[in-house]
Amino acid sequence: MESNNTIKNVIKIFVPFVIALLIHSVVVFFDIIGIFVRNCISNEKTVASKSIETIMSQDYTQPMNQALISAIQFSLYILIFGIMLYKIKKPSVKEGFFNIIKPPIIIFLIIGGIAGQFMVDGGLALLRPLFKSAFDKYDELVSSVTGVSSSWLMLLTVFLISPIAEEILFRGLVLTYSKRVMPAVFAIILQAFLFGLYHGNIIQGTYAFLMGLLLGFMVHKTDNLITCIVFHIALNVSILLVPSGLLKVTSNAILTTAISAVILTICIFFIFKKTKKQETNK
């Protein structure tokens, strides 16, 4: 009986991850079908083969269409995974929201998130000369979010909706289920690995894995998902705060990475200290 429960819990670790991939596939499928139908009934009356070619080379990759796909996908994550998380952690979800919204902790989370983004960008700048082709693809991805072609919907999705969705999925469900069948350290590593794998490219996946370790450790120590959500939002928004020319010089990149790492460490220390103090005062 105990072995059966263990197997069930192991399966539960990967079920949310698989559901997330299925949601993405379904959203993309219906988006392509919708564009295809629109093109077929348009005034141009394009043939089916031409319409599919147009969809994949032009319509599908349009910034607003990509933003719409992302917004729908992550909103479904919040709805579906939020309900799943609420069912398994109902009391802590309620208590956690009201306990964490306090100025000192929020300030440290925001500063830590900003420092985390500067540290990531500094580290990436140092690695860029070694992996030029991989960074070319990564630059295209970042440009689609923050470049001149980005839309308000994409910014809203990347800076608010996706951090909430990803934290509920990975630090909420995956980490919770993982800790039921393995020591916390392995559970944190596993959810971080899946978080990195989810991002689908080597550059983003690598630093997503590292940030996943930090976020997993954070939610494990604070036992509060809201800390990770606020930190993740601050981290993503900080993409806009890093000056484009700051990290082009190697010495600047090294200094920025080092200073940011120190600031991030200090912030994490105070976050843990403040949340622990709140627990003892209950």
Contact 56, 19 (CB under 8 A): no
Q: What's the pLDDT tens digit per position in 98-155?
A: 455 566 888 999 999 999 999 999 998 888 887 777 777 777 777 766 654 567 888 8
Residue 58 has pLDDT above 80, yes or no: no
Residue 167 has pLDDT above 60, yes or no: yes
Give the rounded percent of residues in the chain with a pLDDT score beyond 70: 82
Res 200: pLDDT: 81
Q: Provide the H-helix boundaries in 41-131.
A: 48-54, 63-88, 90-100, 103-127
pLDDT band at 50; cut points 50, 70, 90? low
Structural domain count, the chain: 1
Residue 179, domain extent: 2-280
Residue 27 has pLDDT above 90, yes or no: yes
Q: Is the whole model's pTM more than 0.75, yes or no?
A: yes
Residue 1 has pLDDT above 80, yes or no: no
Residue 174 has pLDDT above 80, yes or no: yes
Give the rounded percent of residues in the chain with a pLDDT score beyond 90: 46
Res 111: pLDDT: 95
Average pLDDT, the chain: 84
Residue 240 has pLDDT above 70, yes or no: yes
3-state SS class at 149? coil
Contact 197, 205 (CB under 8 A): yes
